[in-house]
Structure 1
Amino acid sequence: MPASILNCLRACSALAALVAAGFALSGCAGMSDTVSPAFADPGKYELYDCKQLETERKTLASRTVALQKLMDKAETGAGGAVVSELAYRNDYIAARGQAHFAEEAWRRNKCRETPPDATPSVSTPQRPVIKPAPKIQ
């Protein structure tokens, strides 16, 4: 066999293996809803008050969105499904699990969102008035 055919066969088999791995790992994506609490500590939020839980919920929500965007971006490239699974999936599942337990603690404590007008307003600092120094005669 000519060398060019062997190189083509090697490249095709590597690509086929990569695609197969992507399909195998993408099957895990559907399990994330049921598995996510397994990657988080269920007692982490037991002693949090409502204010702490509110901050934590917002942080976890933004983290989950950021990881989802990274996974979506990774999947657009060559071998992206594999990269997405290997690089971001575990963090995504852990964040979802933490969000689940934070949400449970939120409901258990009967917390409510802080209304936007209830937050203390921060006044804009005023510039000090600088008077010119008196002239010495």
Structure 2
Amino acid sequence: MSASGETPPRICHLGLAAIVGCTVMLTGCAGHDFEATASRPGKFQYYSCDQLDRRGVELLKRERELTALIDKARQGPGGEIAIALAYRNEYNTVKGDLIAIEQTGTQRNCTLKFRTVSEQAVR
């Protein structure tokens, strides 16, 4: 503290930089492994095959929107922070729900059409 009782700006900037750095590091911890646990078990157990397919279409569309927003945010300064605050949780939830829909569809021998052939081969 200075004689006037104010915190020097340099210390404030260092504190802010430390907080931002920790936030960015912690967002890396919530990466792709979290997707599988982002959906509640049995969430889609009462859906019919047709309902699973329709919900899959909706979620796949939202996944693509979020991917575009994340890619755009990465181009700017502070993009990783924006991604962590605005998009990461929803993206992980959407991915987890897509996995749960595919697992439920497989268990019921449903033919889910919401994925293209190339996307199914990648998964």
TM-score by length of 2: 0.70
Residue identity over aligned pairs, in percent, reads 32
Contact 2:105 2:112 in 1 (8 A): no
Equivalent residues, number: 106
Q: Which is greater in Rg?
A: 1
Distance 1:56 1:98 in 2: 9
Amino acid at match of 1:54: D
Matched, 1:27 2:10: no
Q: Which runs of structure 1 show a deviation greater than 3 angstroms over 4 or more consecutive aligned residues? A: 9-19
Which deviations, in whole Å up to 9, do the C-alpha atoms of 1:13-64 show, x marking residues without a partner?
37743662454134225x32x2223221211211111111111111111111
Q: State the one-letter code of the partner of 1:94.
A: T
Gaps of 5+ in 2: 1-7, 114-123
Q: CA deviation at 1:82?
A: 0.6
Residues 1-137 of structure 1 mapped to structure 2, 5 A cutoff: 9=10, 13=14, 16-17=17-18, 20-21=21-22, 23-28=24-29, 31-32=31-32, 34-113=33-112
Any gaps of 5 or more consecutive residues in structure 1? Answer: 1-5, 115-137
Q: Residue 44 of structure 2 aligns to a residue in which SS?
A: coil
Distance 1:10 1:75 in 2: 28
In 2: Cα distance, 1:74 partner to 1:12 partner? 23
2:117 alignment partner in structure 1: none
CA RMSD of aligned residues (A): 2.3
